[in-house]
Amino acid sequence: MPWKILVWWFFTAACLSKTYGQTEQALIIASRSAQTIQVYRPASAEHGVFLNDDYLQPVQIAFDDIHDELYWCGRKGMLSTIERSSIFQPDRQPVYSTVRDVMTMHYDTMSQTLYWSESDQAHLFRLHPGNGSIDTLYSLSSAPESFALDTRAGMLFYGNSHLGLTYTIRYDLETQTEDTLVVNNGFLGSYLVDEMNRRLYIALQSPSSIITMDYQGLNQDTLLEFGYSPMAPQAMALDTKTHDLFWTDIGTDQILRFHFGDAEAVPVTIADNPFGLLLTYLPVTTAINPAPESSIRMYPNPCPTQCLLEVPAEQLPLDYQLVDQRGQILRNGQLTTTSITFYTEDLPPGCYFLVTRSSSARQVIPFIKSH
């Protein structure tokens, strides 16, 4: 309908206007185990914390680009609670609580509406921020583990995993009918839609991959394939301006970037148990608090022929494995001193992981072997 297209272009223009002037690309990350919502600026490599709460375990996040408001959901005891705050002046406001798990959240710019799904509920929930009312909509055939919504195209994509397969369902918002779009090998991580090009992205785990297709399930392409490696892509974010796809990897505790046209993805930062991810543009003057660092330091990173590992004395000794992106173990051993020279001259250029284990903890340190 013409009026819907006009409204969509109005809000899109308002969002894109933030990408000019003194703003820069920013990733907002829900770090579940660290109990923080973090901010990372790829251009300046500045990694900081927006919100830190000893009782918060954030899993899902959504962002209102028009009003610069962040929504997040964390598990607190027996309840999942959705909260809201301005990104510039944190002022937490509870929005909604449920005893069920909140599986996915999405803020639709065109309708200025927050959508989310809950475990064992075969419909979506909807919050109208203007009046605070909450209702349910769309009678679905099953409860979505994840969903992606394109209201301009009138399409909802949702899915579930069963016996190692992911079933993706396409739901037509106008006719309220649905069909199975595609079945893929692997467990469902998440969905993402590119509204401009009408493309659907699916993150899959065990075996791990990121695939894309059009809204009809045609023109499928496997962007990245990791097999049964430690990689486990979860949430995704797309920047159509820079042609970058970002995603969180809960298997290796890192955030990666794939630039369309490149041969492979590269890690950009790390976060502990990073479940949720979204992308926006923030003023360069927005102050953020420094993010917590891994207790094991590795530098320089990228690493040329050797690098230095610094390990807290109380963690020694530590068993370690050097693993490539496919999950192949290239080297193993034990760290016994607080300062260790780690040699990498025998490694081809690319991304690797140093996985350390003790009796009580496991850490994954991603690093790049430079040319």
- Average pLDDT of the chain, as a whole number: 86
What are the pLDDT digits (tens) for 136-168?
999 999 999 999 999 999 999 999 999 999 999
Q: Which residue has the tokens 């809201």?
A: 84
Q: How confident is the model at residue 244 (pLDDT cuts 50, 70, 90)?
A: very high
Please state the φ and ψ torsions of residue 257, each to the nearest 5 degrees.
Answer: -130, 135
Residue 1 has pLDDT above 90, yes or no: no
The pLDDT value given to residue 291: 58
Reduce the DSSP state of residue 3 to 3 states and report it: helix
Range of the domain at 262: 2-290
Helix H or strand E encompassing 37: strand 36-41
CB–CB of 61/30 below 8 Å?
Answer: yes
Token pair of 98, please? 């449920």
On whether both 129 and 23 belong to a single domain, the answer is: yes
Residue where a domain stops, chosen among 290, 325, 354: 290
Q: Which residue has the tokens 């000794």?
A: 317
CA distance 47 to 261: 26
On whether both 106 and 152 belong to a single domain, the answer is: yes
On whether both 313 and 360 belong to a single domain, the answer is: yes
Burial of 101 (0-12, 13-18, 19+ CB in 10 A): middle
Which is it for the CA torsion 97, 170, 13, 16, positive or negative? positive
Q: How confident is the model at residue 17 (pLDDT cuts 50, 70, 90)?
A: very low
Q: Who's near 6: CB < 8 A, 6+ residues apart?
A: none
Q: How confident is the model at residue 290 (pLDDT cuts 50, 70, 90)?
A: low
What are the pLDDT digits (tens) for 38-87?
999 988 888 888 887 766 788 999 999 888 899 999 877 778 889 898 88
What are the pLDDT digits (tens) for 200-236?
999 999 999 999 999 999 999 999 999 988 889 999 9
pTM: 0.78
Token pair of 8, please? 């969509």
On whether both 275 and 304 belong to a single domain, the answer is: no
What are the pLDDT digits (tens) for 338-351?
999 989 999 988 77
Neighbour count for residue 93 (Cβ, 10 Å): 11
Neighbour-count burial for 327-349, b at 16+ CB within 10 Å, e otherwise: eeeeeeeebeeeebebebeebee
Neighbour count for residue 263 (Cβ, 10 Å): 6
Residue where a domain stops, chosen among 226, 256, 290: 290
On whether both 130 and 8 belong to a single domain, the answer is: yes
CATH of residue 337's domain is: 2.60.40.3080
CB–CB of 269/290 below 8 Å?
Answer: no
On whether both 319 and 200 belong to a single domain, the answer is: no
On whether both 305 and 345 belong to a single domain, the answer is: yes
Residue where a domain stops, chosen among 229, 255, 290: 290
**Domain count of the chain?**
2
On whether both 68 and 196 belong to a single domain, the answer is: yes
The pLDDT value given to residue 51: 82
Average the pLDDT over each of 183-197, 201-215, 321-335 and give the range with the smallest value: 321-335
More confident: 7 or 336: 336
On whether both 190 and 67 belong to a single domain, the answer is: yes
On whether both 362 and 259 belong to a single domain, the answer is: no
CA distance 26 to 24: 6
Residue 352 has pLDDT above 50, yes or no: yes
On whether both 207 and 320 belong to a single domain, the answer is: no
- What dihedral do alpha carbons 235, 241, 243, 248 form, nearest 10°? -20
CA distances (Å), origin 352, targets 271, 273, 303: 16, 18, 10
Average the pLDDT over each of 142-146, 174-178, 208-212, 285-289 and give the range with the smallest value: 285-289
CATH of residue 277's domain is: 2.120.10.30
% residues pLDDT > 90 (the chain): 51
CA distance 304 to 369: 6
On whether both 49 and 147 belong to a single domain, the answer is: yes
